[in-house]
A and B are shown apart, each in its own frame.
Chain A
Amino acid sequence: MTALISILVLIFIFVAIWQMVKIFDLTQTGKSTENNQIANDNDNKVNGYLMIGFLIFIYAITIVCIAKYGDLPLLSNSASEHGPSVDRLMIISLLVIFFVQTVTQFLLHYFAFKYRGQKGRKALFFADNNKLEAIWTIIPVIVLAGLIIQGLFTWTSIMNVDEEADPMVVELYAQQFNWKARYAGADNALGKANVRLIDLDKANILGVDESDPNAQDDVIVTELHLPVGKPVLFKMRSQDVLHSAYMPHFRAQMNCVPGMITQFSFTPTKTTAEMREVPEIKDKVANINKIRTENSKELIANGEEALEPYEFDYLLLCNKICGTSHYNMQMKIIVETQEEFDAWMKEQKQFKNSLNL
């Protein structure tokens, strides 16, 4: 069956090519004697019009993409304090890009159409114009300077950890192919750790120094809970290869590097429950569930289980190639009120109690 379809597709492609060549051939009205494979006035005309067609195609695909996929939860609805400044800069940059793209593509394709060659016409001998060149050197300089300055301010404020704000310290620990989080406990100081201290028999899976007083109240979990409105300072570690802790809803990302501790800090601003009620997120979830029900029908017909309905959750994804299951290295993030967080935390085992002795 597949073979038959493949053959049909191939035949179809060849027919299509042949037809198109014929069409280009037919446009060579009368002049078939001058078959020297160099563009003549007719070719210039046909391809000139196609240039305009192509310009329309570029605009169309832009519009379709923006209309269908432009309403991105990643361009609005950020869930961290610094998020809106990133989004604002992103939108400004996208607008600049959109404007320049529209104008320059127009000029390029329109000129290709307008000045398509005709026998006997002579091109303008126009080799240089310092004024013009100065203009289009200076305009990008100004625009880029604006973007750079905005960008650098945003970047610096994101990357500078405000120690004054007394952030909650959380370690993100990456390994092929899962995530763990370690909370610092009441002292807000993580116990020392090194992979050389890993002792699987004792269930010391993160290599935390058992003799370090700071380590005793640390809490190790596989689901990341964060209290809303409280700054968090993540300390990233990896035990094997590079991973990257990517938390798109919070506009946050930092690589996890073996042998090194990296960090990233942000303040969550919306609880998971609040985010689930945001209209755009609701739309997105509804749409995804429609697709999932559709796919489930097929699965059921094949005697398999239906897909579970999707509910919105913040996620931590791995975003640095790390091996076979790189595509499925995730951890759920739950942002909740301080009370909910405290209640949850109380139920977790402290490091000193989690070891097999």
Chain B
Amino acid sequence: MSAHVEAHAHDDHGHHHKETFITKYIFSQDHKMIAKQYLITGLIMGIIGVVMSLMMRMQIAWPGEPNAFLQTFLGKWAPDGVMSADIYLALVTIHGTIMVFFVLTAGLSGTFSNLLIPLQIGARDMASGFLNMVSYWLFFVSCVIMVASFFVEAGPAAAGWTIYPPLSALPMAQGGSGLGMTLWLTSMAIFIASSALGSLNYVVTVLNLRTKGMSMTRLPLTIWTFFVTAIIGIVSFPVLLSAALLLIMDRSFGTSFFLSDIFIQGEVLHYQGGSPVLFEHLFWFLGHPEVYIVLLPALGITSEIIATNSRKPIFGYRAMIASVLAIAFLSTIVWGHHMFVSGMNPFLGSVFTFTTLLIAIPSAVKAFNYITTLWKGNLQLNPAMLFSIGLVSTFITGGLTGIILGDSALDINVHDTYFVVAHFHLVMGISALYGFFAGVYHWFPKMFGRMMNKNLGYVHFWITAVCAYGVFFPMHFIGMAGLPRRYYTNSAFPLFDDLSNVNVVITVFALVGGAFQIVFFYNFFSSIFYGKKAEQNPWKSNTLEWTTPVEHIHGNWPGAIPTVHRWAYDYSKPGHDDDFVPQDVPLKEGEEELQH
């Protein structure tokens, strides 16, 4: 009864305030619209990030050769079409930053947490629509600042996405460490504020606004991962913020938190007593959890999509939750594996090796559980499902080499080489990107009320899958041959001359893979307008979002919010005619809810 009244209140609300263009599309407080805003912004940042990576790849494959593409895009940074060494480092830095933070943290989490948390837990909106709106606009501002830094005279930040001082702290160490770095730090500070607001909102919403019957153990795994991701973000982002603030103090107010005993460009600087290693600790205290902030939502999305399209319950629901929690906890105590050769106490190195290899265990459990979910399923190989299977594949390939990087004795020799580039692109970059694509293909009908073209989706997946391996798999071998990362060219070392051929192959794969993303963008944008109208529940899924009408309405459900009677994974349950039983269907007489 009370739910009914509440629904009416909402309806009235909708009638009284006429929504203007501005409140509906720009300063919207509706979580579905905010999700779309995040998605579109994330995709645009994604295009920028990918184009940057292609420019780097061209430089590496054909160093010193004039290139019209580079000249067009980089202008004065590529005199006569040859990229300068400084801009290479700037591209590495901004590509890394954009991909990690803007595309795969804000773009991915922002889109799907916003879209799915209220819809899947049965809430009319986020706990605070206003904060949600503020969070998006802060994100937008930080994107603008980051991109704007490319128009700074001395170039954007170029100290790597890890911005280790003193390189990042001293304008005389590098062109990009002047105004460019100031903008980078400003942008990130705003980004962190945005992320904190978003995360708080997600946590509060999941804890407080679940509909009747939606206990924590009935939550879909998507929500579990978004929830845990938000908690990791709340715990670790403030540490990055404090690192950034201390760095700003060192840069602008002469403090010495991270700097000591520096002689540069013919003069001694006054800094005394600080330590760059301290910055590394602070940075990686966020930096490592960050890779799980990127990855976990993708794994959650995949869990949901694999279960739905396998027409089978996700295997080991409890174990999946346990492993997400274990990963979240362990992720905060493994940061030192980025610092084995930083000069920190070798004993600490031993401790971090131990915790790092521990984290491999819940990760392995997840991989095995996905594979078992496929076993004896009735797989509907939709594009979203292909990307999810692709994620499991790259997650395994990339994750396995973590065994080497996490082992301090072995890391000595592959630390900061292309082996690392290969490892993290596969396990975090490509995996999370696949999760992103999978989510878009799967929830496009929910977002836009239309279907994406599946054949274009298939073409997109297969080309991307082949190119991703073609780009990143050989990089392991380049790394084992000793080529350091963040090298503008390997031609300064005859030792590496025999790697030029592989580098060309990699670049060709990258260019083809990059170009074929056009298929996705074409499919995405044309389907928004011309796609086939979607049915209410096209994938025959159990979760609550598919009980809402196709047309978006404020408050999500026209009537009362459905009550939940079962977990999200009753696919092909014996005793039911259909191969799916939505969460709001009451248990039949004598039917037992799977409790495990």
A: residues with CB less than 8 A from B are 2-3, 6, 9, 13, 17, 20-21, 24-25, 35-39, 43-44, 46-48, 50-51, 54, 57-58, 61-62, 65, 69-70, 72-75, 85-86, 89-90, 93-94, 96-97, 100-101, 104-105, 107-109, 111-112, 115-118, 121-129, 132-133, 136-137, 140-141, 144, 147-148, 151-152, 154-156, 158-160, 175-176, 194-196, 198, 200, 207, 236, 239-242, 244, 246, 248, 251-255, 257-260, 262, 284, 287-288, 291-292, 295, 307, 310, 315, 317-328, 330
B487 touches which one: A248, A307, A326 (CB < 8 A)? Answer: A326
> Is B131 part of the binding interface, using a Cβ–Cβ cutoff of 8 Å?
no
> Is B268 part of the binding interface, using a Cβ–Cβ cutoff of 8 Å?
yes
A176 and B264 contact, Cβ closer than 8 Å, known pairs A61-B473, A326-B486: yes
> Is B477 part of the binding interface, using a Cβ–Cβ cutoff of 8 Å?
yes
Report B183-200 CB contacts with A as 1/0, cut-off 8 Å.
000000000000000000
- The reply to whether A123 and B572 form a contact with Cβ atoms under 8 Å apart is yes
A108 and B376 contact, Cβ closer than 8 Å, known pairs A20-B459, A198-B268: no
> Is B27 part of the binding interface, using a Cβ–Cβ cutoff of 8 Å?
no
- The reply to whether B480 and A319 form a contact with Cβ atoms under 8 Å apart is no
> Is B24 part of the binding interface, using a Cβ–Cβ cutoff of 8 Å?
no
- The reply to whether B353 and A259 form a contact with Cβ atoms under 8 Å apart is no
B: residues with CB less than 8 A from A are 67-69, 85-86, 89, 92, 159-160, 164-167, 170, 173-174, 259-264, 266, 268, 271-277, 310-319, 341-343, 346, 349-350, 353-354, 357-358, 360-361, 364-365, 367-372, 374-382, 385-386, 389, 392-393, 396-397, 400-401, 403-404, 407-410, 412-413, 415-417, 451-456, 458-459, 462, 465-466, 469-470, 473-474, 476-478, 480-482, 484, 486-490, 492-495, 497-498, 500-502, 515-516, 518-519, 531-532, 535, 538-539, 569, 571-574, 579, 594, 596
A50 and B462 contact, Cβ closer than 8 Å, known pairs A154-B409, A259-B275: yes
A115 and B374 contact, Cβ closer than 8 Å, known pairs A86-B409, A196-B268: yes
Instruction: Tell me, rounded to whole Å, the shortest Cβ–Cβ distance linking B71 to chain A.
Output: 9
- The reply to whether A137 and B361 form a contact with Cβ atoms under 8 Å apart is yes
- The reply to whether B259 and A259 form a contact with Cβ atoms under 8 Å apart is yes
- The reply to whether B343 and A260 form a contact with Cβ atoms under 8 Å apart is yes
A260 and B260 contact, Cβ closer than 8 Å, known pairs A151-B408, A326-B488: yes
Contacts of A46 in B (CB 8 A): 458
Contacts of B375 in A (CB 8 A): 111, 115, 124, 126
A240 touches which one: B68, B173, B378, B385 (CB < 8 A)? Answer: B173
- The reply to whether A260 and B275 form a contact with Cβ atoms under 8 Å apart is yes
Instruction: Tell me, rounded to whole Å, the shortest Cβ–Cβ distance linking B410 to chain A.
Output: 6
Instruction: Tell me, rounded to whole Å, the shortest Cβ–Cβ distance linking B299 to chain A.
Output: 15
A2 to B67, CA, bound (A): 8
Instruction: Tell me, rounded to whole Å, the shortest Cβ–Cβ distance linking B247 to chain A.
Output: 14
A127 to B375, CA, bound (A): 11
A194 to B269, CA, bound (A): 12
- The reply to whether B451 and A37 form a contact with Cβ atoms under 8 Å apart is yes
A55 to B274, CA, bound (A): 51
Instruction: Tell me, rounded to whole Å, the shortest Cβ–Cβ distance linking A134 to chain B.
Output: 10
- The reply to whether A319 and B415 form a contact with Cβ atoms under 8 Å apart is yes
Instruction: Tell me, rounded to whole Å, the shortest Cβ–Cβ distance linking B364 to chain A.
Output: 4
- The reply to whether A241 and B313 form a contact with Cβ atoms under 8 Å apart is no
- The reply to whether B312 and A126 form a contact with Cβ atoms under 8 Å apart is yes
Contacts of B318 in A (CB 8 A): 128
A136 touches which one: B167, B276, B365, B470 (CB < 8 A)? Answer: B365
Instruction: Tell me, rounded to whole Å, the shortest Cβ–Cβ distance linking A31 to chain B.
Output: 13
Secondary structure dominating the interface of A: helix
A166 to B68, CA, bound (A): 58
A176 to B449, CA, bound (A): 57
A325 touches which one: B85, B358, B378, B393 (CB < 8 A)? Answer: B85
A284 and B498 contact, Cβ closer than 8 Å, known pairs A123-B572, A198-B263: yes
A326 to B486, CA, bound (A): 8
Q: Which residue of A lies closest to B88 (CB)?
A: A327
A307 to B315, CA, bound (A): 60
A253 touches which one: B312, B313, B341, B397 (CB < 8 A)? Answer: B341
- The reply to whether B489 and A327 form a contact with Cβ atoms under 8 Å apart is yes
16 contacting pairs across A/B (C-beta < 8 A) = A9-B515, A37-B454, A51-B389, A69-B481, A74-B482, A86-B410, A108-B371, A126-B315, A127-B315, A133-B365, A137-B361, A258-B262, A259-B261, A259-B276, A262-B343, A291-B498
- The reply to whether B410 and A93 form a contact with Cβ atoms under 8 Å apart is yes
Most buried by B among A38, A51, A195, A318: A38
Instruction: Tell me, rounded to whole Å, the shortest Cβ–Cβ distance linking B493 to chain A.
Output: 7
- The reply to whether B413 and A253 form a contact with Cβ atoms under 8 Å apart is yes
A155 and B574 contact, Cβ closer than 8 Å, known pairs A108-B371, A111-B374, A198-B268: no
A108 and B393 contact, Cβ closer than 8 Å, known pairs A148-B357, A323-B174: yes
A295 to B62, CA, bound (A): 12
Contacts of B469 in A (CB 8 A): 57-58, 61
Contacts of B365 in A (CB 8 A): 133, 136-137, 140
Instruction: Tell me, rounded to whole Å, the shortest Cβ–Cβ distance linking B396 to chain A.
Output: 5
B343 touches which one: A2, A156, A254 (CB < 8 A)? Answer: A254
A112 to B388, CA, bound (A): 11
- The reply to whether B400 and A323 form a contact with Cβ atoms under 8 Å apart is no
Q: Which residue of A lies closest to B462 (CB)?
A: A50
A315 to B496, CA, bound (A): 12
Instruction: Tell me, rounded to whole Å, the shortest Cβ–Cβ distance linking B452 to chain A.
Output: 7
Q: Which residue of A lies closest to B400 (CB)?
A: A97
Q: Which residue of B lies closest to A195 (CB)?
A: B263
- The reply to whether A319 and B465 form a contact with Cβ atoms under 8 Å apart is no
- The reply to whether B167 and A241 form a contact with Cβ atoms under 8 Å apart is yes
Most buried by A among B68, B259, B263: B263
User: 5 more A-B contacts (CB under 8 A) besides A105-B396, A176-B264?
Assistant: A2-B69, A37-B532, A151-B407, A248-B482, A330-B492
Q: Which residue of A lies closest to B174 (CB)?
A: A323
Contacts of A196 in B (CB 8 A): 261, 263, 268
- The reply to whether B498 and A324 form a contact with Cβ atoms under 8 Å apart is no
A19 to B148, CA, bound (A): 39
Contacts of A158 in B (CB 8 A): 409, 412
A82 to B401, CA, bound (A): 22
Contacts of A323 in B (CB 8 A): 89, 167, 173-174
Instruction: Tell me, rounded to whole Å, the shortest Cβ–Cβ distance linking B15 to chain A.
Output: 34
Contacts of B268 in A (CB 8 A): 195-196, 198
Q: Which residue of A lies closest to B319 (CB)?
A: A133
- The reply to whether A123 and B341 form a contact with Cβ atoms under 8 Å apart is no
Contacts of A156 in B (CB 8 A): 346, 350
A323 to B538, CA, bound (A): 53
- The reply to whether B85 and A159 form a contact with Cβ atoms under 8 Å apart is no
A104 to B394, CA, bound (A): 11
- The reply to whether B381 and A317 form a contact with Cβ atoms under 8 Å apart is no
Contacts of B396 in A (CB 8 A): 100-101, 104-105, 108
- The reply to whether B377 and A123 form a contact with Cβ atoms under 8 Å apart is yes
- The reply to whether A195 and B166 form a contact with Cβ atoms under 8 Å apart is no
A137 to B470, CA, bound (A): 31
Q: Which residue of A lies closest to B92 (CB)?
A: A321
A111 to B370, CA, bound (A): 11
Contacts of A200 in B (CB 8 A): 266
Nearest 7 pairs of A and B residues by beta carbon: A259-B260, A159-B346, A262-B343, A37-B451, A195-B263, A69-B477, A154-B409
